[in-house]
Amino acid sequence: MKKFAATAALVASFTASSAMAGGPGPVIIEDAPVIIEDAGSSSSAGSLGAGGVIGALLLLGVVAAIASSSD
């Protein structure tokens, strides 16, 4: 029992000294992340979205330019 008490005291002294070696650290408080959800648009683009509509218009313009060019 004496060996157990001596070992426990030794372990406690090591953990206590290393835990308090640098003193208490600064308190860091992090804010909770804010999640903003889009409310969905009433666009007639369907599932394409604004990027899909712009891409489709650009593609249509390129096709029209190729079709109107004379060779």
Whether the per-residue pLDDT at 71 is higher than 70: the answer is no
Q: Which among 26, 10, 28, 8 has a CA at the least distance from the CA of 18?
A: 10
Residue 60's pLDDT is 92
**Chain centroid, CA 22 distance in Å:** 32
46 Cβ contact list (under 8 Å, min separation 6): none
Does pTM surpass 0.85? no
For residue 32, give the amino acid letter: A
Residue 16's pLDDT is 60
* Tokens 């206590």, residue located: 16
CB 43 within 8 A of CB 50: yes
Q: Residues 19-36: pLDDT tens digits?
A: 555 666 788 888 888 888
